Amino acid sequence: VLTYSTRNELLQRFPQLAERISVIPTCVDLEFFGEFSNEARVEIRSSLNISEETTVMVYSGSFGGNYEMESLLRLFQVFIERYPSGQFIVLSKTNPQLVSEKLSMYGSLNDKLQLLSVEYGEVHRYLSAGDLGAIFYREDWSVLGRSPTKLAEYWACGLPVLAQELVGDLSHLKELYPHALTLVDNVSKDSLAKALKKMPLKVEKSELKHAAQEHFGIDNGVHSYREIYSLLAR
């Protein structure tokens, strides 16, 4: 399974499987994906007409289904209240019309958000242009099983992250990397505002990359699978 939260939930129902359930978080090949690049930051911001002084939130991923768009747009609203000159970069291959329809309900965001579809090999360059990343899912029991790939990608590119605390093992990761992750217990405007207020944006980028490598590095996954295959071969 992808998370310890899932493993704990399963063991409450099937305690006899204690020795037969392994946890392997989502893994990212960070050498292939890339890392923070100041050159890319300057270049991407320039191409999007965003000044270096502007605080930028990035969201990378899909919209719709379990990817909660309404909560994310509410977060954008609260973000703009805190950073009036702020901007958003949204990296998504979701139908732009769907996003436009949702944005029409939040008129104040129209000139603040840039929706872009980029190839995977370019994502790290656009993440480098941001100051913080966001992860939001629909509030549902199934989020216990989520190990967000984008968390590793954000961290690899030096972005501290704002997310919901009930997603997968994020509460545990918050304990391990307190400056890298800020969690909210619900998506009310008040909770989001408090989270943004206490969220540190000036985090050492090398520490974030280390956290990504330590928890989500692909070598960890390879090692874990090898151990399982060795047990099966006995």
**Residue 103: pLDDT over 80:** no
pLDDT > 90 in the chain, percent: 71
**Residue 166: pLDDT over 90:** no
**pLDDT digits over 123-136, tens only?**
999 999 999 999 98
Helices (H), 137-187: 149-156, 170-176
Q: What is the mean pLDDT of the chain?
A: 90
**Residue 64: pLDDT over 70:** no
d(CA 126, CA 128) in angstroms, rounded, equals: 5
Strand 181-184 relative to strand 113-116: parallel, antiparallel, unpaired? unpaired
pLDDT at position 144 is 87
**pLDDT digits over 66-83, tens only?**
677 788 888 999 999 999
Q: Which of 46, 26, 64, 35 is nearest to 150 (CA)?
A: 26
Q: Which of 22-26, 44-48, 61-65 has the lowest mean pLDDT?
A: 61-65
Classified as helix, coil or strand, 217 is strand
